Structure formats: C-alpha cells, structure tokens
Amino acid sequence: MLCRILSVSSLLLTAATAWNTDVHNQIGFMAETFLTPSTTSVLQHVLGPQYSGSIGRAADWADAYAHTAEGSFSYQWHWIDSADEPPTSCNLCYDRDCSKGGCVVSAIANQTEILRDCIADVKHGILTDGSNITCSYALKWLTHFVGDVSQPLHASGTAAGGNLFNVTFNNISTELHAVWDGYIIYRDAGLSQFSHQSISPFMSSLVSRIKADDFSQPTAEWLACIDPATPRKCALSWARESNRWTCDYVYNQTYNDTDLATSGYAEGAYPIVELQISKAALRLATLLNRLVASGCKTGHEVVLQTNHNRQDSPKEADDVFT
C-alpha cells in the first residue's frame, strides 16, 4: 500500500496550478465551441475587451492572480484536500475536506452565484464592456476552476496533491503533480506546449470526439449534474469523480523508480487525461449556457460554509446560501 503523506496546503506554494496554464487556455477554447451565440455575446460584456471576448484567453488568469499579494487569498481555491489511503481507499467529503477560507468546490459554487447576477445585469444593460471587476473575476475564476476540479491531483490530499511524490518523466526528475498538470497531455499530443491564443489541432480533435460521443463514458453522463441552482452539489460530484482516479489509476501502479514516460504509465493515463479535459470543457460551456439562459438575480448573499472536521461525514447537506 502506498504510504499516505498528510496534505499540508502550505507545501503547495510552488505548484498551485491544476493543468499548466496553456492547458487551461485550451479547455477554455474547447468550451467556446459549445457556447451559444447569446452566451458568447453576454460573456463579452462580463469579461472585458482585453480578452477579445475569449474565455480561453482568460482561462489562465487565476493562476497568476493567486501568486500576487492582492490575490493570495484565492490561492487555496484551486484544490480540495481529500483524506485518502490510495490505492485502497479514496473518498472526498465537503464538510471534512474543504479548508477554512475555501476550496475549489466552494469557489465554483460562489463564483457561479456571483456570475448569475452579473449576467442579469448585462441583460438589463447595467453591465457592459467588463466594467464590473467583480463580475470579470467571477467569470475568469469559474472558467479556471471548472478546469482545476477535473485534474485528479487537485481533488487529492495525498502527498500534498502529488507534489511530494517524486518521479521521473522522460529522464526529468519531477513530481507526480507536474506529470498530471502537463507532461502526460504534452506527450499524448506530441507537443512541448499548447497555444495561449487559439485552440490547438489536438484539442479540436477532442471537441470532435465530444460531438461524436466517442469516449468510454457517454457525454450525457458528464452532464448529469449541471444545475446553476445547485453549484456546490455539482462541483462536489465533479471533484469526487476526479478523486476516484487517484485510487483507480494515479497511485494504483508499480513505480519502482521507472520512467513514467516509457513504463506504460503515461500511455495508460492518456485516455484519462483526454476524458477529464473534455469533461471540463463541456461542463463549463453547458454551465455558462444555462446561466445565460436563466440569468435571474438570486437575491442571496454568497457565503462559505464549512465544518473543518477531519472525520468522515458520509452524508452531504444540500447547498445552502443564506
């Protein structure tokens, strides 16, 4: 059994990202292909002119912002720490695992609620051209965090999300977190980096596969929970899906100081990474389309409610925003 190293959030100070920044851009570009014309038009007014209406170009903003003095409060919003013993036991509980100050699940929920009101303001002509920075931030955070929650090691507390698990990939000494952030998908695509400005042919091929329903799991199942009215519930279900991969594959391998690029580990991970990236893109687009289609103010104050009890809590309460 893999020895579990308890997660310490401060140990992630050098690696807050889930997916490298260019992969985040690509998830945004993929999502854009599924947005309705109405959604695209509305989001342009939320986002602001510097991004030319592209959530793909804005998708990497959250990582840079989290590393500034101003944005350091948002740093821990990029992950949720599970209490796992992979590969034998993986589970994720919101009350137990979402840290004080927030996590990726609460961040998705809160920014969804904020963005709903922003969209209503656009429809009423109150908000134009990115004039409300809170709204612009909400859209950029939501775009980023839906990507974050799909990366298995951002829904895992083991070895500080894999940052303390040293491995070799293509003769490079690195850590497991970095392997899942970028090394695997780069090798799968045969590239060293993706564009920050437009969708790559590799990601376009994933879009085609989404449209053809050409994945091991039907795309209809990816959208089983995409309800803007229950964002925390849905984000938690996505995080739990990602967390399961830590037992089912990420740590369920024999390492023995092998090179993960050539040992078969990377090849086995290709379909997982392709699936998770594709899920993130379609879920993001569907959530944004449904927010724009509804676009009514909630009248609720967004608050973070967590119970920092590290004991198992088998039953999750429904979303409560008071």
> Would residue 150 count as lying in a domain?
yes
Does residue 234 carry a pLDDT above 60?
yes
Question: pTM of the entire structure?
Answer: 0.88
> Would residue 321 count as lying in a domain?
no
Mean pLDDT of 225-240: 97
> Would residue 11 count as lying in a domain?
no
What does each C-alpha distance from 101 to 44, 105, 156, 266, 307 come to in angstroms? 30, 12, 18, 35, 11
What integer pLDDT is reported at residue 297 of this predicted model?
59
Least reliable range by pLDDT among 65-74, 193-202, 268-277, 313-322? 313-322
What integer pLDDT is reported at residue 313 of this predicted model?
38
What would the pLDDT profile of 265-301 be if each residue is shown by its tens digit? 999 999 999 999 999 999 999 999 999 998 555 544 3
What integer pLDDT is reported at residue 17 of this predicted model?
56
What integer pLDDT is reported at residue 10 of this predicted model?
36
Q: What are the two backbone dihedrals, phi and then psi, of residue 38, each rounded to the nearest 5 degrees?
A: -65, -45
9 burial type by CB count under 10 A (0-12 exposed, 13-18 middle, 19+ buried): middle
In the chain, how many domains are there?
1
CATH number (domain holding residue 156)? 1.10.575.10
Give me the amino acid identity at 132: N
Does residue 305 carry a pLDDT above 70?
no
> Would residue 79 count as lying in a domain?
yes
280: which 2 tokens? 């993130």
Tell me the β-bridge partners of 175: 166
Residue 282 neighbours by CB under 8 Å, 6+ apart: 31, 34, 210, 219, 222, 223
Contact 307, 315 (CB under 8 A): no
Residue 167, H or E segment: strand 166-169
> Would residue 113 count as lying in a domain?
yes
Does residue 14 carry a pLDDT above 60?
no
268 burial type by CB count under 10 A (0-12 exposed, 13-18 middle, 19+ buried): middle
175: which 2 tokens? 């850590």
Can you tell me which residue has the tokens 């580990």? 265
> Would residue 302 count as lying in a domain?
no
Measured CA angle at 261 (ends 259, 266), to 5 deg: 120
CA pair distance 101, 80, nearest whole angstrom: 11
Domain assignment of residue 284, given as a range: 16-294
Contact 152, 180 (CB under 8 A): yes
106: which 2 tokens? 């609460």
> Would residue 104 count as lying in a domain?
yes
Collapsed DSSP state (helix, strand, coil) of residue 259: strand
* Pairwise pLDDT comparison (302 vs 268), residue with the higher score: 268
CA pair distance 51, 288, nearest whole angstrom: 17
> Would residue 1 count as lying in a domain?
no
